[in-house]
Chains A and B, each alone.
Chain A
Amino acid sequence: EDQVTQSPEALRLQEGESSSLNCSYTVSGLRGLFWYRQDPGKGPEFLFTLYSAGEEKEKERLKATLTKKESFLHITAPKPEDSATYLCAVQAVSNTGKLIFGQGTTLQVKP
């Protein structure tokens, strides 16, 4: 069964304190892994798509990496505006068009 697990569930950082969020996945064949950001009371907003192990993508203070079993979202020198819930999702080769989401990591960055 395809499955996505994110850790930790919640993370509190001080402004400028770098850290990483983890997304572990089990899928029969990975077509792509997605990272989304979700602010309170809003719908998820797309951040990155990763396709193959070894791939990395960056956007401002965020960098996403992918291995054969997990993905990391690295946050460098975070700011309070980075506070949000970060969602990871996978699309399997056998289920094109459908995403399987993890439960999310809620990040709080204090000034």
Chain B
Amino acid sequence: NAGVTQTPKFRVLKTGQSMTLLCAQDMNHEYMYWYRQDPGMGLRLIHYSVGEGTTAKGEVPDGYNVSRLKKQNFLLGLESAAPSQTSVYFCASTPTSAILEEQYFGPGTRLTVT
């Protein structure tokens, strides 16, 4: 199993450009998450999904959109990138929250917006 994979690993955008980050998991997990990590601020939840076709807002959702059309994929979109969105983005998944489960993280995407 590959676990959780993220595409791309690095990206540089200009202000106003758009892009989509792809997260894929092959563990048949129900729950998927998008976080951003900034120096000194830990991981902050952007959006999450409790199953195929569902999404919900996290702590810092503004400027981002998500979609979960297939159970194994969770897409994070930036419609008009801003320098404040320069960060490292992590995707995570977990089987279900019905029982307490660890979250499995991807390797991250480093995004720079100039």
Contact = CB atoms under 8 A, between A and B. Distances in A.
Interface in B65-106: 90, 92, 94, 97, 100, 102-106
Contacts of A99: 43, 45, 103
A43 B108 contact: yes
Interface string A81-111: 0000001010100001111011110000000
B74 to A, nearest CB: 14
A4 B23 CA distance: 27
Interface residues of B, number: 25
A31 B42 contact: no
Interface of A: 4, 6, 9, 31-32, 34, 36, 41-46, 49, 51, 87, 89, 91, 96-99, 101-104
B41 interface: yes
Given A87-B43, A102-B42, A104-B42, A34 B105 contact: no
A9 B39 CA distance: 11
A99 to B, nearest CB: 6
A42 B108 contact: yes
4 closest residue pairs by CB, A with B: A43-B105, A97-B97, A46-B102, A103-B42
Contact of A98 (B4, B45, B90, B105): B45
Given A41-B108, A43-B108, A101 B103 contact: no
Q: Which residue, B35, B40, B44, B102, has most C-beta atoms of chain A within 10 A?
A: B102
